[in-house]
Amino acid sequence: MKCDVLVIGASAAGLCAATAAANGDAGVILLDKDFDHPKHTANTLFDGMAARAGLQIDDCYVQRELDGMRIISPAGHGVTIPARGYFIDRQRFDRHYLDIAEKSGVMLLSGEAQNAKLDGSRRTVMTGSSTEEIDARIVVDASGIKAVPARQAGLQPMRHPEDIAWAMEVEVEHPGLGDEMFFQYWIGSMAPGWKATFSPAGGERATLGVFVRGHGQNVQSFFRSFLQKFKAYKAQEYKDIEEMKILSVTRGGDPICVLPGQIVADSFMVTGGAAGQSGLAYGMRAGTICGSVAAEATAEGDVSSRSLSDYGRQWNSEFFWEYCMGRAALETLQNLKDEEVDRLCRSLSGKTLISDGSFLKKAAYSGAKVALARPSTIFDLVMNLARS
Ligand SMILES: Cc1cc2nc3c(=O)[nH]c(=O)nc-3n(C[C@H](O)[C@H](O)[C@H](O)COP(=O)(O)OP(=O)(O)OC[C@H]3O[C@@H](n4cnc5c(N)ncnc54)[C@H](O)[C@@H]3O)c2cc1C
């Protein structure tokens, strides 16, 4: 099989990369190893993030609207950030963007990409289960956090991969729990391993997650510990919270503290989680930039890394500093002691932080506040960033 652009991975970033490339008149194949039972992470979006990434939220996949986000300190002080949010039905979300891709002319193919070998100015990719070989002028790796195709092609697509947060997210069921109006976010000792989240899905359903850094990929024990703390925290509101049911478990890695590294090579591009471009909406925007540049390169007949590096330049001009600030802010929060988190949340409690803008901007804002209280932390971080 031959195509201009082969996209590996039909999740948020890959769907947008494939659609943008097809809209730029490239012949596109979108390959995924699991079209039938995708296990995609990410179920919550906020207006600020979506607007920043140029994403129009579609009602067809909104399961529940949220009033905002609450950051909760270990002693229970909450900072409320009003911002329209959405718990999304992930299957409908994927279906919606898959339909758009197909309508743009993208061809879907099931199979697992094995290796993207450079062959002159093209790449050939084996698709695993069948002996099918695909010959593409450009291969886009949108395969998520492990970025296996990119690594096989010799790229290091992330800087600071050791800072990936390995996560376990659980869907739970308990009367009334899903009717809460705020996404909740814990830091400090309430969130063993780094941060923990609660996202209400409507009715009896919600998700609980732990995101752990520096302890490997198996984070089950951190989840168990958070679960106990969560139940204790909610016990006053829900008398029989001990009986809360666990319905399903999702695992994955979130590159929220990672920066993109080598994201292009000759006939090769990397996008979304695979490139350390964390988050649904931001990954979709990165995929769109990637797909547009891929289409232009194939139209011009130059698929060299020099030509494809337009993608990195465009991404940098839109997002680089925001990601750096986000990383610095999140690192700062991680280094705070419980008393400092409590003091920070108590002093911000009841105030509106920022009502628009992205989560990363909000995190950066909180980080700046913290830095005022403890300048040495941010100084260390800036020095680390400058060195890396
Ligand atoms: C538990 C958890 C919860 C999260 N929650 C949120 C959230 O609520 N909101 C948010 O904005 N972000 C969230 N994130 C971050 C977000 O999930 C990721 O940044 C984003 O989903 C990455 O999307 P992606 O399209 O790059 O890749 P992925 O969603 O990881 O998809 C990769 C795709 O590639 C396919 N694939 C992989 N390898 C191959 C191969 N060799 N051949 C063929 N196909 C292949 C897979 O089947 C999959 O379909 C969360 C992360 C985690 C871990």
Residue nearest to atom 18 of ligand 1 (CA): 279
Mean of pLDDT values over 187-200: 92
The pLDDT of 251-273, averaged and rounded, is 96
Say which CATH number the domain at 220 has: 3.30.70
Average pLDDT over residues 25-33: 97
* Residue found by looking up tokens 């204790």 in the block: 232
Q: What is the pLDDT of residue 357?
A: 47
- 73 found inside a domain: no
- What is the number of domains present in the chain? 3
pLDDT in the model for residue 322: 87
The residue whose C-alpha atom lies closest to atom 7 belonging to ligand 1 is 42
Give pLDDT tens digits for 81-101: 888 999 999 999 999 999 999
Ligand 1 center from residue 280 Cα (angstroms) = 8
Crossing angle (nearest 10°) for helices 12-23 and 280-300: 30
> How far does the centroid of ligand 1 lie from the alpha carbon of residue 270, in Å?
13
For residue 287 and ligand 1, the question of a CB distance below 6 A is answered with no
Is 50 exceeded by the pLDDT of residue 117?
Answer: yes
- Indicate if the pLDDT at residue 284 is higher than 90: yes
Mean pLDDT of 371-388: 45
Q: What is the mean predicted confidence (pLDDT) over 224-250?
A: 94
Lowest mean pLDDT among 269-278, 294-303, 350-359: 350-359
Average pLDDT over residues 125-144: 89
Same domain, residue pair 280 and 327 = no
Whether 275 maps to a domain, the answer reads yes
91-95, 170-174, 322-326: least confidently modelled range: 322-326
255 Cα nearest atom in ligand 1? 19
Give the angle subtended at the CA of 77 by the CAs of 71 and 80, to the nearest 5°.
40
Q: Does 15 sit in the ligand 1 pocket, CB within 6 Å?
A: no
Q: Do 296 and 212 share a structural domain?
A: no
309 and 289 in a common domain? yes
Apex CA 55: angle with CA 262 and CA 213, to 5°?
50
The answer to whether position 266 is within a domain reads yes
| pLDDT reported for residue 355 | 44
Residue 17 and residue 122 share a domain:
yes
Average pLDDT, integer, range 329-335: 78
Residue 77 is assigned to a structural domain of this protein: no
Print the domain residue range for 250: 165-254
Å from CA of 183 to ligand 1 middle:
20
- Ligand 1 centre to CA of 277 (Å) is 11
Residues 104 and 142 in one domain: yes
pTM of the entire predicted model? 0.90
- Residue 361: what pLDDT? 52
Q: Which pLDDT score, from 0 to 100, does residue 375 have?
A: 44
Across the chain, mean pLDDT equals 88
Q: How far is the CA of 32 from the centre of ligand 1 (A)?
A: 12
Of 21 and 53, the one with more pLDDT = 21
- Judge whether 71 lies within some domain: no
**Nearest CA, atom 33, ligand 1:** 9
Nearest-atom index, ligand 1, CA of 13: 25
CA of 170 to the centre of ligand 1 (A): 16
What's the mean pLDDT in 342-368? 59
Q: Is the CB of 273 under 6 A from ligand 1?
A: yes
Report the relative pairing of strands 122-126 and 116-119 from DSSP bridges. Answer: antiparallel
